A = this chain, B = another copy of it.
Amino acid sequence: MELDPVPETSEQQWNLDLPAVSCHSAIFTLVDNQLMLLLVERNEGPFRFQWELPGTALTTAEDLSATAMRASTPPLAPLPLAVNNPRQLGAYGGPARDPRHRSIAVIYWGVTHHTNINTGPSGPQLVPMSEWTSDGFRFAFDHQQIADDALIALKESLNSTSLATRLCASAFTISELQRVYEVVFNTEIAAGNFHRKVQSTPGFTTAVGNQNQEPKRRGRPAQRFEATNIVDVSPPFHFESSQER
């Protein structure tokens, strides 16, 4: 069994057979109590004027994750996108996914606070979930399936890890954290129990000194916390979306 992935054919055939590989990213964030996904509207080629996950061809000698993250940064953006924990969703390579040629897309997904995302009129846009899960929305290629899979991966990670802290600002309250879950799962959570669960999970948050210079609101002022390394929640949450799609 020869496992050299380069087939022994002529150079011309080699060209035709070799698939193109691209890396894409599915970046989620929260804006205004809505879950947003970073998407790009295609302006040429097949699926023109339809939306896709930001991606780029795999050409330079870097990790797949680095290529994917680079793709979600607009060309002239001053700072790279701060998604510090991209996770691989998988490779999508159905033989008919690109009408031009065989194509493999490797997808990474991640979350970040919306202030870390640079959007511009000609680059990636934040699209609310209510839009891209509606029937009229048009994804390019198989990116509808990919976005659905990424959303499932996001929910699984929120249930089993402290990833939700990365969707909050650098300092946040427990109820702001709770809002993350409520938005993503479209559900209501009993505040008292949520508070205990987070506080009783070691490493979920770190208390921050009482720099409580918030615009004063009603009610008892909340403690503020910071995100730390992502830890497992054990036993996990088991939130479920109430009515999806």
Chain A residues within 8 Å of B, Cβ to Cβ:
1-7, 11, 14-15, 17-22, 40, 42, 44-45, 52, 54-59, 61-64, 75, 88, 90-91, 93-95, 98, 100-106, 122-124, 235, 238
* A91 adjacent to B90 (CB under 8 Å): yes
Q: Which of B2, B5, B61, B106 contacts A91 (CB 8 A)?
A: B106
Are B17 and A5 interface neighbours, CB within 8 A?
A: no
Cβ contact within 8 Å between B75 and A91: no
| A45: chain B residues within 8 A (beta carbon) | 2-4
Contact of A59 among B7, B94, B122, B124 (CB under 8 A): B7
Q: How far is the CA of A21 from the CA of B91 in the complex (A)?
A: 11
Residues of B within 8 A of A56 (CB): 3, 5
Nearest CB of chain B from residue A150's CB, rounded to whole Å: 14
In the complex, the answer to whether B59 meets A17 with C-beta atoms within 8 Å is: yes
State A108–B42 Cα separation when bound (angstroms).
31
A94: chain B residues at CB < 8 Å are: 63-64
Shortest beta-carbon distance, A98 to chain B, in Å? 8
- Pick the 4 closest A-B CB pairs, nearest first: A5-B22, A5-B20, A91-B91, A61-B95
Please measure, in the bound complex, the distance between the C-alpha atom of A21 and the C-alpha atom of B6, giving whole angstroms: 8
- B102 with A61: CB separation less than 8 A: yes
